[in-house]
Each structure stands twice: as structure tokens, then as C-alpha cells.
Amino acid sequence: MNSVLVNLPFIVVAILLAIGFYTIGFKRNLIKIIIGVEILEGAVNMFIVALGYVKGGYAPIYTQAPSGAIENMVLPTPQALTLTSIVIGVAVTALMLAFAVNIYKTYGTLDVSKVRRLRG
Amino acid sequence: MMEHLPALIIAIPLLGAFAAPLFKRHHKAVSIWAILITGITLIVSLLLTREVLVKGILVYVFGAKSPTLVLPSGYKVPIRIMFEVDALGAFMAISATLMSFVGALYSYSHVAHESGLEKYYSLLLLLEVGILGMVLTGDLFNLFVFMEIAGISGAALVGFRSYRGEASEAGIKYLIISAVASLMVLFSVALLYGEYGNLNLAYIAKNIKFGVVDLIAFGLLFTSFAMKCGAVPMHYWVPDAYTEIPAGGNPPLLVATYANLYALFRVSFTLFTNIVINISRAGWIMVILGVLTMFIGVTMALVQKDVKRLMSYHAISQTGYMLLGVGVGLTVLHDPSKLMEFGRDAIAGGLFHVINHIIYKSLLLMTAGALFYVTGTRNLDNMGGLARKMPITTISFMIGAAAISGLPPFNGFASKLIIYETSYMLNPILTVFAMVTSILTLASFVKVFASAFLGPPLKKYENVKEVPKPMLIAMIILAALCVIFGLFPKIILDKLIYPAADALINYLQYHSWGGLA
């Protein structure tokens, strides 16, 4: 039971990855596919944040840190990585949605099985 | 000045990209600005390559004087952002800057009638930044960031003609593939970070152990990069993206694809060879992937009627040659006698094919763009008799077609011959596949030549003229390079390709600067 609790974040990450891949692979609505990419991104971000947690460690903020915390601070790299990745994710989503709007305007549908003028 | 070249090569196009929107409503000015910036970057990359070839690996640290500087507490790991330029990175940087320059030159006339040009050139320069960052960085997370920059700007360029629904369709396909691939890269970066507590390529390569987590990370990285360099079975985005992007964006987009190929080679050689005793298995996977890619690509190309789409399927097929060449080298990497006998030449052949393919495929896609420029269609059935009207385009096309089919004395022959010879040493069947692919390639380009350029002149194209000068100059530069690389392959191989191949083979060199602990 304890091992499940300790690994809970990673189990959630695995479930989210599975949901994300399923949505990208099997859904037909373009907006849902975009949501699937977003879920994948959330899973990866959560994985990095979960990796950055060290039991008993303190957040690396020096102002008003409790005594003894300075010796025991975690490296803030995972959080920095996550922030960068979130920013990139917003750009990707915005561009994907812009394409989706454009596709709806010209094709009149968001069904990916009908949006298929490029083939062969 | 000279020691800051790795930073300048990123900073100059970045400045250019964000200054380009200032030239709104001055279409000529923004085109000239882009040509200027890409030209300067080309010079910087040439200087950088000379530095690297003379002095060996160049490690550039942002925010410190030397890479081995450690924290005051004595915690000995590299924590700063680092660029590490070896001969392979420099070689890719030359390809990227050259092709961005040619692309910007070509775009001067090709997209002159479109609106929103300042955004087009911004994206073009950002794409260049992304590629250069990918090939020069020495840090896994940076690799992800630059991969995303290249992916986003590339997808936006693909969808640039937003009044066409097809452009958006191709754009979203490319963007979804690139987003999923780079998220998986980030996931494996996180795995490696969790294990080694660092992101520096040299540090991880030095400390890497053989474990399940490493294997998972290697598998994810291999798959993601193979997906993004257009290997079968994830090749279907390539024809769409290459067809819909304005022809001036084709050269940088091609290099962006091969920047992912570079990353594939980098992780398989530098990062993981140290541990995977059975790296030959990964090499065989690469070889088989290469053969499949080249064969499936060319068979799908044979039935195409859209001229740019046909050429894009050939781009897939040619990627197979590179995978085959470098894969043959990877299979024998831990076998010194075979490595000296043919492995090193195989890697050199694969890398030589990268730059050759970038040159002649850009040339061919640009001639296709020129055909589209004058006829307004890409369908081969609606063209004909254009040879007399467009002599220079015709000659450029002939040179490009001869080069891609591997006819001497053009550059495609030089690299394909090396790949044939070396893959024969590993297994003769591989060579048979490679040669059959080459013959099929020739067949389909004869078809294009006959239906677009030969035949009786059509009435509707009576008044067409040769395309404007900037487009011609861009095509002539590349056609000349095709001939030069084909006539003097020895010089190019000795000066550029063999150092790059050695950079892959001597993977221990990559962290020879210390790598710290």
C-alpha cells in the first residue's frame, strides 16, 4: 500500500499518458485531438515536477527560510524546466487552434476523416 | 570576438527574426533584411567551422569563463547552459545557414505577391535559429527547446498560405507530429535527469550506466527523432508539409528535418554507445529502417501527379540512404578492424549524402516552385513544353534530377557510390535495394522532365517568361554546388565530412573537456 502511495504521482502520469495517446489516436474531432496533445503535455510536466520533489527538502527560496533550511534545499531545475515547457505548450496550442479555426472555415467540418484533401 | 561565435550564430538570426516585423508595409525592405541577416549568419558559420576544424571541439558556456567552473559549495557538476560545437555540429550549421540564405534569396520574388511578408521572414529566421540551436547545443533540455522552436516556426511556415485550407491541414499534421515527438523527447530527458541529476550531454555520456531506464530513454529518443526525420512508418507528414510550404521555405524545412536526423545520430553515438555493448543491434534497426524508408518512399513517388508531392516522396526515400549509411557504421562501431575497413567510410557516406541531398532536393523543389510560379498549377498533366520558355529552370532541373538519380559527375553519385560500396561489405542485399531505388528514382524524374518541360508548347502558356532573377540566382548557386561537389568530392570529404564522421566515431572526445566528475 505504501509503495502505491509513494508512487502515486507516477501512476497518475502513466494514466494521463495513456489517455493522451488514446485521444490522439482514436478521436476524430480535431479539437479533441488538440486536447489529447494538451493532456500529454500535462502528463510530462507533472512527471518532471514529481521528479523534483525530495522528501524533507526545502523550496530554494532564501527569504524567510526557516533555520537549517539553507543546508537542505532542492535544486530548482525541474521547476524551471516545467515553466519553460508550459510556455512552449501554450504557443503550440495556440497555433494548433488557429489551424483548426482555419480548417473549419474552409472545409466546414472538424472531422479528421473528412479533412483529407491531401492524399496519395 | 572569435570565441563568441557560437553565441553570435544564434543571436544574429534571432535579432533578425524579431526586428523583421518593424518593416511592416515595406515588402522589399524586409526581404533584403532577411537576405542580409542570413548572409551574415552564413559567414559566421564558415568562420565557426574553420575555428572548430583548426582547434577541435569548442565549448561555449553562457555566463562563465570556463566550462569547468563549479559552485562555491564545491558541488561538481556543470550547471550552466553550454554550447558544444564539434565538426559534425559545424557541418550541420553550414548546411543550415547556406540553405536559409538561398531560401531567403529565392523568397524575394517567389512570395512577393503574398501579404504578411514580415511574418514570413520572421518565421524563416526563427526556423534557422531552431535548427542552429539543435545542432550546436551541448545540453539535452536546450535540444528540446530548440526542437520546439524549429517545429512551431516550421509548422507556421507550412500553413503560411492561410487562404488555402490544404495549407492548414498540412500545418496541423506537422505540428501534432512535432509536438508529440518533442514531448516524448522531454519525457526521456526527464528520465535521464531523474537518474543522473544533470542535463549536460557530456556529463550524462560520461556517467551513463547500463540500465532499464537508460534503455527506455534511448528507445523514446530514437523513436521521436526517427518520427520527425520522416522515416517510415511516420513519413506521411513529409509530402504534405513539403508540398504546402512556399518553395522558398523548403530549403530550411529540409534542413530542419535533417537536424532531427543529426539528433538521432548524436544520441545513438555520443550518448549511448558507451554503455550499449550491443549497439550493433541499434545499428541494424537503423539499417532496416533506412532500407524500408528508401524503398517505400520511392514506390509511392512513382504514382504521383503533383510535381512537389512527387519530389517530397523522393525526399523520404533519400533519407533512407542516410540512415543506411550511418546505420552500417553504427553496427560495426565496436569492431575496430571492420570500422577501419568500411565503417568509417559508411558514416562519411551517410553524412555526405545529407548535405548532397539538402542541396539537390532544395534545387528540385525550387524548380517545382518556379513551375508553380509561372503556370499556377502543380499538376503534371496540365504542364508541357516549358523547356523553351524557361531554359535556366530546365537546366537546373536536369542537374538536380541527374544528381538525385546518382548519375556521374554530380554530387548524388559521389555519396551514393560510397554507400553502395560500404553497405555491400555488410550485406549485399542492402546494396541491391539501394541500387533499385536509385533506378526507380531516375524513372520517375524522367517522367517529370518529359511531361513538364518537353512536348508541344501549350497555348495557355504562350506568354510565360523565365522566372525573376533572384529565383534564378538561388537556383544557379545550388546547381553550381551540385556540380562542384560532384567533380571534387575528395576535397569536400577531407575538409568537412571525414572530420564530422570522426566526431561521431570518437565519442569519447565529446566529453574530453572534463565533463566534471
A107 in B contact zone (CB under 8 Å): yes
Residue B339 contacts residue B333 (beta carbons within 8 Å): yes
Contacts of A30 in chain B (CB under 8 A): 172
Rounded to 10 deg, the angle between the B469-487 and B391-404 helix axes is 30
CB proximity list for B459: less than 8 A, separation 6 or greater: none
| Overall residue count recorded for chain B in this entry | 517
Just give the CATH number of A2-53+72-107. 1.10.287.3510
- pLDDT by position in tens, chain B (length 517): 778 899 999 999 999 999 999 988 788 899 999 999 999 999 999 999 999 999 888 888 888 777 777 777 667 777 788 899 999 999 999 999 999 999 999 999 888 888 889 999 999 999 999 999 999 998 899 999 999 999 999 999 999 998 888 899 999 999 999 999 999 999 999 999 998 888 888 888 888 887 888 889 989 999 999 999 888 888 889 999 999 999 999 999 999 999 999 999 998 888 887 665 567 788 888 899 999 999 999 998 888 888 889 999 999 999 999 999 999 988 888 888 888 888 899 999 999 999 999 999 999 999 999 998 888 888 888 888 888 888 899 999 999 999 998 888 899 898 999 999 999 988 899 999 999 999 999 999 998 888 888 888 888 887 888 888 999 999 999 999 999 999 998 999 998 999 999 988 888 888 777 656 5
B145 in A contact zone (CB under 8 Å): yes
Helix (H) or strand (E) holding B85: strand B82-85
What was the pLDDT predicted at B276? Answer: 57
CB proximity list for B393: less than 8 A, separation 6 or greater: B367, B370, B371, B386, B466, B467, B472, B475
CB contact under 8 A, A117 and B309: no
Whether cis (ω within 30° of 0) applies to the bond prior to B233 is yes
Q: Which of residues 30-59 of A touch B (CB under 8 A)?
A: 30, 33, 37, 40-41, 44, 47-48, 51
Of B180, B193, B244, the CB nearest to A37: B180
Instruction: Report the C-alpha gap between B365 and B372 in whole angstroms.
Output: 10
- Indicate the DSSP class of residue B497: I
Helix (H) or strand (E) holding B84: strand B82-85
Residue B192 contacts residue B143 (beta carbons within 8 Å): no
Phi-psi region of B57 (alpha: psi -120 to 50; beta: other; left: phi over 0): beta
User: Helix or strand or coil: residue B272?
Assistant: coil
CB proximity list for B501: less than 8 A, separation 6 or greater: B88, B329, B344, B347, B348, B351
A119 in B contact zone (CB under 8 Å): no
Residue B313 contacts residue B298 (beta carbons within 8 Å): yes
User: Helix or strand or coil: residue B63?
Assistant: coil
What was the pLDDT predicted at B192? Answer: 92
Residues A90-105 have a mean pLDDT of 94
What was the pLDDT predicted at B116? Answer: 86
Task: Please name the residue of chain B whose CA is at the shortest distance from the CA of residue A119.
Answer: B240
Of B175, B240, B304, the CB nearest to A92: B175
A29 in B contact zone (CB under 8 Å): no
CB contact under 8 A, B186 and A30: no
CB contact under 8 A, A117 and B169: yes
CB contact under 8 A, A88 and B148: yes
- Residue ranges of domains in chain A: 2-53+72-107
**How close is the nearest chain A Cα to the Cα of B90, in Å?**
27
Instruction: Report the C-alpha gap between A39 and A119 in whole angstroms.
Output: 29
Q: Which residue has the cell 521528479?
A: A51
Instruction: Report the C-alpha gap between B464 and B108 in whole angstroms.
Output: 19
What was the pLDDT predicted at B460? Answer: 81
What was the pLDDT predicted at B277? Answer: 59
Task: Please name the residue of chain A whose CA is at the shortest distance from the CA of residue B183.
Answer: A41
CB contact under 8 A, B152 and A40: no
In this structure, which amino acid lies at residue B455?
G
CB contact under 8 A, B155 and A107: no
- Candidates B215, B196, B218, B216; CA nearest to B206 is B196
Instruction: Report the C-alpha gap between A118 and B410 in whole angstroms.
Output: 33
Q: What sections of chain A are H helices per DSSP?
A: 2-6, 8-26, 30-52, 77-107
In this structure, which amino acid lies at residue B458?
L
CB proximity list for A104: less than 8 A, separation 6 or greater: A110
CB contact under 8 A, B190 and A85: no
Contacts of B165 in chain A (CB under 8 A): 102-103, 105-107, 117
Q: Which residue has the cell 531545475?
A: A77
CB contact under 8 A, A33 and B176: yes
Q: What values do phi and psi take at B281, rounded to 5?
A: -65, -45
Of A24, A84, A92, the CB nearest to B152: A92
Phi-psi region of B514 (alpha: psi -120 to 50; beta: other; left: phi over 0): left
A19 in B contact zone (CB under 8 Å): no
Task: Please name the residue of chain B whose CA is at the shortest distance from the CA of residue A106.
Answer: B165
Q: What sections of B201-278 are H helices per DSSP?
A: 201-207, 212-228, 237-244, 250-266
Rounded to 10 deg, the angle between the B498-505 and B307-331 helix axes is 50
Banded model confidence at residue A120, pLDDT cuts 50, 70, 90: low
B343: Cα separation from own chain's centroid = 22
- Indicate the DSSP class of residue B410: S
Residue A103 C-alpha cell reads as 480548417
Task: Please name the residue of chain A whose CA is at the shortest distance from the CA of residue B146.
Answer: A88
Contacts of A95 in chain B (CB under 8 A): 152, 155-156, 171, 175
B170 in A contact zone (CB under 8 Å): yes
CB proximity list for B428: less than 8 A, separation 6 or greater: none
CB contact under 8 A, B240 and A24: no
Instruction: Report the C-alpha gap between B257 and B249 in whole angstroms.
Output: 13
What was the pLDDT predicted at B283? Answer: 85
- Candidates B353, B196, B183, B350; CA nearest to B271 is B196
Of B165, B180, B304, the CB nearest to A117: B165
Residue B122 contacts residue B157 (beta carbons within 8 Å): no
Residues A11-28 have a mean pLDDT of 94
Q: Which of residues 245-304 of B touch A (CB under 8 A)?
A: 303-304
Residue B368 C-alpha cell reads as 517545382
Helix (H) or strand (E) holding B153: helix B140-158
What ipTM was assigned to the predicted interfaces of this complex?
Answer: 0.94
Of A78, A103, A116, the CB nearest to B172: A103
Residue B231 contacts residue B261 (beta carbons within 8 Å): no
Instruction: Report the C-alpha gap between B221 and B204 in whole angstroms.
Output: 15
User: Helix or strand or coil: residue B60?
Assistant: strand
Across the A:B interface, residue pairs with CB atoms under 8 Å apart total 93
HSE, CB side, 13 Å, CA atoms: give it for residue A59. 7
